[in-house]
Structure 1
Amino acid sequence: MKSTKIDPQLIEKATSIFAELGLPIEHAINVFLAKSIQAKGFPFSVALENEVEAQEASHSSIQHHISNAEITEAIHDLVEHALPLSEIENLTQLIYCRNTFGLSFPVLKLAKSPRPEDIRSAAKDAKERNRYSTTKVAQRDKKNYVICTQWTDRHRKAFCRWQAIFSRDI
């Protein structure tokens, strides 16, 4: 493989930004490369500045109005069709979810089986409170995941930033 040179100032600035998002720079680079392979090119639109600003303004207004049901549906679709397995694993980790979204619960929780009683059991926290959807269960590689429903307005912007990294066509 040909040796590549990455601008050290870019690495430093990007490392700082991704650290605020709770992501190591290596993970961000891997996500970019995986999305580039999936898109067979840049994983984002390449547009003139005015077009990019219009798209960002449109996306910004949408993110403030995204409902919990829409978040659950988006996560369900991403888990079943688009997320790398490593990101699914990340979403089952409390520390990652706290750093990425500000949540007090993992986004995904593994259920023992798709049986209704196992789904209901997985949907409860340690204090027996329902924190996960029992009606929307994501399946991937013969595993069943319940999806966190504990999203508030303070989590929506972080969710939309994360979703923009992993969504196929948003």
Structure 2
Amino acid sequence: MKDSKLDPELLEKATEIFSELGLPVELAINVFLAKAVQAQGFPFPVALDGDRAVNQQGDNRISNAEITESIQHLVEVTLPLSEINNLTQLEYCKTTFGLSFPVLKISKTARPEDVRLSAKDAKGRNRYSTTKVAQRDGQTYLICTQWADRHRPAFVRWQQTFGDN
């Protein structure tokens, strides 16, 4: 990015953040540009009051339980199947939310033992809810529980796009 008009200090800070997420800053910029082209403008709402993760009660933080419930409802009721498929893809979830896991994971069945087995990662750690699952068209989806504060604004933006609230 020689001869770039990017703010070097801002670029350095962004590079550090995206490095923590396992993404090169160039990929993050390309994702932003692709989303801007798709949206024919900024790929997120631009407002004067800032970009805070706000839940329906007006709190300034949406909880993991609220995220799980929202995803469950959206999968079961309103999300297009193409977006449900996107949520099972690691790369999409990395670029959309900054997560290290897909938002949805398919379980063999809705039986509690299958759900418990599917909820674990390769190291045997639970990364998905074993009590709240979403069902759609005969498929059982486990919902990721690995949401940190840095993921919440991206979730709220996504929810505003796909939600029915």
**Match for residue 60 of structure 1?**
52
**Match for residue 19 of structure 1?**
31
- The separation in 1 between residues aligned to 2:104 and 2:34, in whole angstroms, is 17
Q: Give the drift of 1:132.
A: 0.2
Q: Counterpart amino acid of 2:101?
A: F
TM-score (structure 2 length as normaliser)? 0.69
Give the direction of change, closer, same or farther, for the CA distance of 1:18–1:161 in structure 2 (3 Å limit).
farther
- The separation in 1 between residues aligned to 2:75 and 2:33, in whole angstroms, is 20
| Equivalenced residues, count | 129
Give the direction of change, closer, same or farther, for the CA distance of 1:82–1:116 in structure 2 (3 Å limit).
same
Do structure 1's residue 132 and structure 2's residue 128 form an aligned pair?
Answer: yes
Task: List runs of 5+ in structure 1 lacking aligned partners.
Answer: 1-16, 30-51
**% identity of equivalent residues:** 62
Given that 1:22 and 1:96 are in contact with CA atoms closer than 8 Å, whether structure 2 keeps it comes out as no
**Match for residue 73 of structure 2?**
77
**Match for residue 91 of structure 1?**
87
TM-score (structure 1 length as normaliser)? 0.67
Quick check: which one's helix share is greater? 1
Where has structure 1 moved over 6 Å in runs of 4 or more? none
- The separation in 1 between residues aligned to 2:33 and 2:122, in whole angstroms, is 27
**Match for residue 150 of structure 2?**
154
Alignment RMSD, CA only?
2.8
Q: Give the drift of 1:60.
A: 3.2
